[in-house]
Structure 1
């Protein structure tokens, strides 16, 4: 029996989960600690509360070890964000949140120096203003003294691993989110990015997922990189059988929809579709699209709470299920929805601007969010099929969003695919089992996924042909 600790940080919350892998290769989970994450505004910028994270991680480690021996621990987080270390290993400044506006306008300025197509052909990553590439460019332009004081850049999971162990290194899956890593060589795209005059010297060597970070300083527990990127962990835990007829959707604050492929697709068609070739675990590539996700619902919930109308996610979903389907549709990735002060108002204004009747009331607004995600799933899946020549019949939905049964059914209706929902804790499960693989307890990805199938229940959703026809019509209207 191996007891392993996954430290899993998301944009809304973090948790410590102990996984026990039995001799008959079944995994059980125990959440020992949960804490909020979220950004904090300091001066003009939105930061991550790194000291607070460290305290919470140490609390999780203490609670885990109180229950028995831990054979290893590892951290995963969201992508792109980073911290800077000085020459003596000191933290130079708190990491900046990816939703901070410092990168606004940066894409156009950067692509005027090196064309977008040229960068994509090398790194294969979807162009988004929040990417590390644009954050580093903004840092260089706006805070040159911070750059001068820095000796090393570490992405969030690497930074947290460093604070726990004193070992500073960059893990592959998290590095791949940066839009700065050569998708084929898995080394920094220094030559391609040279005209940008970025501080590439801050980027150290990249180590593979599963690498060791030494031991945790206070307990001596071995620290292993599972796959530093949370989506890499979540996709590893997709309970799929062998074959190419399935897609995944990691559903949470972001919806990350994609296919697992053996090598990156760096064609002009892929660049035009603005897809991303992120590094997966154990040699795979995750061809995917970032979609706005349940961020829309989360921000609506916060807006309603500010007005004194606090509702749970289950309550919001029940109200949405009673609302008329497909009454109004928006693009979940429209710039006006990226970080509005009032999400319901932003949705109403976007509907009005596109010639639609804005949703009235809570249920109609949440239904608009969920239907719009379903439509985006359909459009995205068709694009992925075109790029790869695959025909997708099964969509695996994992992560916290897989608990939303209404959205799962909408996804089935919109795509025409059979939806298999679960496991909910895919990110933590992937983290744990990838550590087990690094310990030599699991041989490969196929065995890892067989353990997931044997250990955790799933729910199946079949498409309603009538609703699928309506989504096909909606997709045709949006394309026209």
Structure 2
């Protein structure tokens, strides 16, 4: 039996998943799960990337304990964050998180050098204050000497793949989220890079999903007692998740987790003015596809609320509490920057409702219902925008990822859109990560076959408007 490993890193946890195809079914087993928390370093919020690598190695060791030797491994994570290496491949920077406030006000400074119209026409990427382009500009202002010394720009999965193999590349799907990749050429846009004064030589060759990087470093082979192919998945977690949509036909998708990402797959970027006005993005996908979508604040809000209540309630508790306050109807704008990294999420929601003359949520149930109703409201608006831009309508949508387990929210979407809503699979990102590896290895022929396999391998729930 041939096994592969998918390492899926999220903003709050990571997992190492073992997968194989047996009798036309994809089998998935979790071998290791671990926390991923932001830490403070030199006054900035950062990811402990060295600890993440140690956790990945622990997952590989657990495979050895199970007497399973995977033939390949691939790593995916969230987007936009990065590290810089010097000429000796040593870290010049911490892996600063996108939630760090260093980019506040930077977008406006970049606008003075290159207009939003020009930037969107070239890259097709949504304007978010934490995009890599603004992180790099903030770093250049604060530490220009670091940018001059940098020889390698590596996004989070790029760096972890480098630690595994010793090979440095920039993977395409994650690179597109930097707002520095030209949507037409699918290469680094040197004009943008030069205009902003970035060090051109630190940007590496862009490689696409399914690329085989080769085997592990010699010292890792010795440590594990076996070698593996390191194969690039779609390293942006949403790009991987979209591969696991169990639908070949026309559908809107919602990748639901810490962030909500809603859109469609397309064979070309859509950089028209209306797409820019509605702030949609054209992120890269596998096989030259584009993910035309909008980034929306997701279940981060309920995660923070749970933390504010000292983890006394489970997510299931908060969903159930919200069912019992049907008469509470306050709505917040989930994409208001105040909800990106507030000191206290519950208080921030209460402040917003007070400022907008709405009923203030006081109980855990009211706070949870406010979040779920607000997310559903944002989703409905985004669907309307997608259909307006594309001048077409959709009969159904697919919700994938951990958030697809929230039956309450799924029903709210079905009721609001009057569309058929399919929810699942839950582990879409790990599944999509494995799909890229399996295609590269010849285990699965193509994406259509992969989606057919997913369709009868994992539970998918159906919701219709009541």
Q: Compute the TM-score of the two structures, normalised by the length of structure 2.
A: 0.96
Q: Which runs of 5+ in 1 are unaligned?
A: 465-480
Contact 2:255 2:261 in 1 (8 A): yes
Partner of residue 53, structure 1: 52
Contact 2:147 2:198 in 1 (8 A): no
Matched, 1:426 2:428: yes
Partner of residue 237, structure 1: 244
Change (3 A) 1:332 1:111: same
Displacement of 1:325 in angstroms is 5.5
Partner of residue 268, structure 2: 263
Q: SS state of the match for residue 233, structure 1?
A: helix
Change (3 A) 1:332 1:112: same
**Alignment RMSD, CA only?**
1.2
Partner of residue 468, structure 1: none
Displacement of 1:326 in angstroms is 5.9
Displacement of 1:69 in angstroms is 2.1
1:3-42 maps to which residues of 2 (within 5 A)?
3-22=3-22, 24-42=23-41
Partner of residue 406, structure 2: 404
Displacement of 1:358 in angstroms is 1.4
Partner of residue 229, structure 2: 222
Q: SS state of the match for residue 394, structure 2?
A: coil
Matched, 1:352 2:351: no
Contact 1:396 1:422 in 2 (8 A): yes
Contact 1:114 1:193 in 2 (8 A): no
1:125-177 Cα shifts (integer Å, max 9, x gaps):
00001100000101111111221222110011111000111110011111011
Displacement of 1:410 in angstroms is 1.2
Instruction: Work out the number of aligned pairs and report it.
Output: 458
Partner of residue 224, structure 2: none
Contact 2:150 2:199 in 1 (8 A): no
Matched, 1:284 2:264: no
Contact 2:148 2:199 in 1 (8 A): no
Structure 1 moving runs of 4+ over 6 Å? none
Change (3 A) 1:73 1:354: same
1:242-321 maps to which residues of 2 (within 5 A)?
242=249, 244=250, 246-305=251-310, 310-321=312-323
**C-alpha distance in 2 between matches for 1:192 and 1:49:** 30
Contact 1:325 1:367 in 2 (8 A): no
Contact 1:76 1:227 in 2 (8 A): yes
Partner of residue 124, structure 1: 124
1:286-328 Cα shifts (integer Å, max 9, x gaps):
00000000011011111111xxx61111111110111126610
**C-alpha distance in 2 between matches for 1:266 and 1:2:** 42
Q: Compute the TM-score of the two structures, normalised by the length of structure 1.
A: 0.94
Contact 1:5 1:64 in 2 (8 A): no
Displacement of 1:399 in angstroms is 0.5
Q: Which runs of 5+ in 2 are unaligned?
A: 222-226
**C-alpha distance in 2 between matches for 1:50 and 1:141:** 24
